[in-house]
Amino acid sequence: MRKELLRNRLLKIAREAEKASFILASLSPEKKNAVLEAMVEALVGNKDEILKANKKDLACAQKKGLSAVFVERLTLNEKRIREMADSLKEIAKLNDPVGEVIKSWSRPNGLLISKVRVPIGVILIIYESRPNVTSDCIGLCFKSGNSVILRGGSDAIHSNRAIYRLLENVVDSAGLPKAVLHLVQMIDRKAVDVLLSLDEVIDLVMPRGGESLIKEVHDKSKIPVIKHYKGVCHAYIDDSADLPMAQRIILNAKVQRPAVCNAIETLLVSEKIARNFLPTMIESLEDAKVEIRGCAKTKGIVKNIKRATQVDWGTEYLDLILSVKVVSDVNEAIAHINHFGSNHSDMIVTQDQANAEKFLREVDSACVYVNASTRFTDGYQFGFGAEIGISTDKLHARGPMGLEELTTYKYVIRGSGQIRE
């Protein structure tokens, strides 16, 4: 009986979100932008309330003995709240994708056919302990005309509730249905199972978090899933690379924020430059507290490092750990990435244009870089305001998902009395 009551409660929430989505889909860009600007003010003006809630989550995390990496992802401060607000402000500035005519054409019989961008409908976001995801997802879904149901991790429940209450009040004050956004505050994991069964109402689910969460959602869901999968990101240093440039990029891509999915986990180095490059590169990484796990050739150059195992090549550490492998050339680097990578973000540092183009063409990842850090794989950095996630799928979206990726399309056909013969 309890399960039936839980299903009925969540189904009611989803049906209300569905009704609200029809209202939101017809909202003018001006109205949406005014609401988003009010959300910006709500976050900035109530930052003390958000920080107070976040302190509760941090205290619980420390009491549980959760890792420093986890706590870093959970932590909010004035800078991060300002960044959350800036993301909403940038989303407001972007062109509204809803109603955009993707293409149009006429037929010999006079029919005028248009392919028009429309919202997806009701989107379910299941995520772990990054509270900024709450505001980012609300902003992007709102601007793209979608109702959103959020189910965050229990470790961030106080932070998520505080952010959600502030933004829900803005929506309510604007005279819109509160159901355009909803935070599921039940920490019972059965709630996720029920939500994933509501395919008659919810149109899309996006899991954001660790590999186990994403796999669980993918395996259980009756709703189409776009996976924000793990980031086993690579950097390949070609034999023609500018080595000082390569060192700066590697340090940024590994050390700046190691607990995020666009940080590199494996460094591949051409054997022609390995002896010149690796000693100073590894010394710089170790100075930054990075643990190195190297292949046999790497250990032959730098002795006092751990030996990498086969498991390491496919591991997303999300920590100050880096696997290092010496490869023969760009071909071996590409083969390694396509075998062990997660189709997320990979880069080459090179001055050889042919090798650069080969890498861009043959590496099968959502984002491929030449001479730039993988840390730029981010909706804000791409000019999307924020991201709903970074899709490592190939359908229907790939890479950082912004407003356009939160829409689908319909065909609009205008006639003047035509009938089919």
Number of structural domains in the chain? 2
Provide mean pLDDT across the span 367-385.
Answer: 96
Contact by Cβ (8 Å): 201, 14: yes
Interval 316-365: pLDDT, tens: 999 999 999 999 999 999 999 999 999 999 999 999 999 999 999 999 99
Q: Does residue 386 lie within any of the structural domains?
A: no
85 shares a domain with 192: yes
Q: Where residue 21 sits, what CATH number does that domain have?
A: 3.40.605.10
Q: Which of 193, 212, 219, 278 is nearest to 243 (CA)?
A: 278
What token pair was written down for 74? 């959970």
At residue 290, the pLDDT reads 98
Instruction: Name the more confident of 101 and 185.
Output: 101
Q: Does residue 382 lie within any of the structural domains?
A: no
Provide mean pLDDT across the span 31-49.
Answer: 98
At residue 259, the pLDDT reads 87
Strands 112-119, 101-106: pairing kind: antiparallel
Contact by Cβ (8 Å): 384, 403: yes
Q: What average pLDDT does the chain have?
A: 96
Q: Cα(272)–Cα(46) distance, rounded to whole angstroms? A: 56
Interval 179-198: pLDDT, tens: 999 999 987 889 999 999 99
At residue 188, the pLDDT reads 81
Q: Cα(258)–Cα(285) distance, rounded to whole angstroms? A: 12
Residue 75 above 80 pLDDT?
yes
Domain that holds residue 306: 233-376
Q: Does residue 87 lie within any of the structural domains?
A: yes
Contact by Cβ (8 Å): 263, 241: no
At residue 26, the pLDDT reads 95
96 shares a domain with 135: yes
Interval 142-170: pLDDT, tens: 999 999 999 999 999 999 999 999 999 99
Determine what percent of the chain is predicted with pLDDT higher than 90. Answer: 90
Burial class of residue 138 (count of CB atoms within 10 Å of its CB; 0-12, 13-18, 19+): buried
18 shares a domain with 140: yes
Q: Where residue 359 sits, what CATH number does that domain have?
A: 3.40.309.10
CB atoms inside a 10 Å sphere around CB 81: 22
Q: Which of 182, 180, 176 is nearest to 195 (CA)?
A: 182
244 shares a domain with 123: no
Provide mean pLDDT across the span 54-82.
Answer: 93
Residue 1 above 70 pLDDT?
no
Q: Does residue 419 lie within any of the structural domains?
A: no
At residue 67, the pLDDT reads 87
Contact by Cβ (8 Å): 232, 374: no
Sheet strands (E) in 333-384: 345-349, 367-370
Q: Does residue 381 lie within any of the structural domains?
A: no
Residue 3 above 90 pLDDT?
no
Q: Does residue 394 lie within any of the structural domains?
A: no
240 shares a domain with 162: no
252 shares a domain with 277: yes
288 shares a domain with 204: no
Q: Which of 193, 187, 145 is nearest to 408 (CA)?
A: 145
Q: Does residue 78 lie within any of the structural domains?
A: yes
